[in-house]
Amino acid sequence: MTAAPGPQAQQRGVLAAVVLTALNLRTAVTGFSVLIGTAGDALRFGQLVAGAIGTIVTACFAVAASAAPALVRRLGLERTAALALTATTAGIVLRALAWSPGVLLGASVLLFAGVGASNVVLIPIVKTHFPTRVRTLSTVYMVLLQVGQLVAPLVALALATIAGWRTASGVWAVFTAVAAVLWVRAARDRAPGTPAPARPAGRAVLARSPLALGLIGLMAMTALHVYTLITWLPTMYTDAGVGETSSAFLLSWFAGLGLVAAFVVPPLAGRLANPYPVVVVCAALMAVGYLGMLTAPAGGAFAWATAFGLGVSTFPLCLTLIGLRTADAASASALSGLVQGIGYGIGCVGPLALGALDQAAGSWRPAYLVLAATLVVTLAAGWWACRPQPAPVSAVPAAARRG
């Protein structure tokens, strides 16, 4: 009979699972953005289906984020993560084998539902298993997410040239499958510390807090910008006369600049009582990017991609504040589900609606103006999200926390 692993071995297993999951939270998104044109030619779909795929990403993130806390209460954090990574793996494989646009869309739903659930559970998993290293591991988590997001377009484009778009889109299943196995093992070992259930009444109180409302608004606007740009930035540039390879590089550069935010924003948010200046700087950068796309999209392509890549640093700010401003893992799970569920739900209108606006207008200019206007909401929501809290918020009654 095999002896159960000790606490240190369990922690190492959970850490390995967190690392591999974080690294692959966005590979299936950005790694497919540069393949949409080739896949569209093969499966005979156009801009409407391409926009629908971008909307499916954030819509699935929203639904899965809303459902994840209930799954955590029923299954526990580790089993929920195992289920999420299994769904992600199955979706990636099915998308690579897709024989019609309908199958491709269905596979995308399964894939991104799994990723959406993973988005939510990683924060409380870190808070549960590594309570004294939340800031450090939040930084690691953000860095790995951005590394995967950066590398995926370059790998996918190179691999598609050698082995075709199906192999290039399906390769990520190898890594998510290994992560799923690690989570199954972590669930079997089941280290103590699964969060106490956050009751519906407690979550309702949490949802009405200024912190939650501000974070929801900030996440919604961030998701709107991030996934519109991830879906359409290569097309925006090619429409402006930039070459396909250069457009793929600019998407990768945009994604890779998140590494700067991943290293800088979490520790900065931990040190500042009010990190609102981060929101102001980000909004200003996004405004510069949209102004540049309106006036000289090709001539200043690199500068605008840089402004966008740094401007969406409000994403790691949101996730860091969820971890820092909650009292316990259950509250972090509840707040993460609320913020990501509603935030991604609002943000999901971006890729499809703005793609349709471009198609109707015959130009990206109206889309740039709409996106620039939403920065007002970013500034207002960020004010409430960043205000100092007198005490960490909780969705779990005090009696339940005392056990």
Give, in degrees to the nearest 5, the angle at Cα 92 between 311 and 71. 80
Q: What are the DSSP calls for 296-343, one per residue?
A: -TTTTHHHHHHHHHHHTTHHHHHHHHHHHSBSSHHHHHHHHHHHHHHH
Q: By mean pLDDT, which of 76-80, 95-99, 170-174 is the weakest?
A: 76-80
- In this predicted structure, the answer to whether residue 399 has a pLDDT above a threshold of 60 is no
Spatial separation of the C-alpha atoms in residues 363 and 346, rounded to whole Å: 24
Helical axes 210-239 vs 200-207, angle rounded to 10°: 70
Spatial separation of the C-alpha atoms in residues 119 and 336, rounded to whole Å: 9
Place of tokens 């540069």: 34
Q: What are the structural domain ranges in the chain?
A: 10-402
* Residue 71: C-alpha distances to residues 64, 169, 293, 324 (Å): 10, 29, 42, 23
Spatial separation of the C-alpha atoms in residues 180 and 157, rounded to whole Å: 26
Spatial separation of the C-alpha atoms in residues 32 and 116, rounded to whole Å: 17
- Banded pLDDT at 33 (limits 50, 70, 90): confident
Query: Which pTM value belongs to this model?
Result: 0.74
Place of tokens 């309908």: 102
CB 298 within 8 A of CB 237: yes
CB 203 within 8 A of CB 95: no
Q: From the CB of residue 353, how many other CB atoms can be counted at a distance below 10 Å?
A: 16
363 secondary structure, DSSP code: S
* Residue 217: C-alpha distances to residues 133, 340, 341 (Å): 28, 10, 11
pLDDT tens digit sequence for 276-332: 999 999 999 999 999 999 999 999 999 999 999 999 999 889 988 887 887 776 777
pLDDT tens digit sequence for 139-191: 787 788 878 877 888 888 888 889 888 999 898 999 999 999 998 988 887 64
Amino acid in the structure at residue 169? S
Q: What are the DSSP calls for 139-156, one per residue?
A: HHHHHHHHHHHHHHHHHH
Q: What class, spelled out in words, does domain 10-402 have in CATH? A: mainly alpha
pLDDT tens digit sequence for 37-50: 788 788 887 767 77
- Banded pLDDT at 201 (limits 50, 70, 90): very low
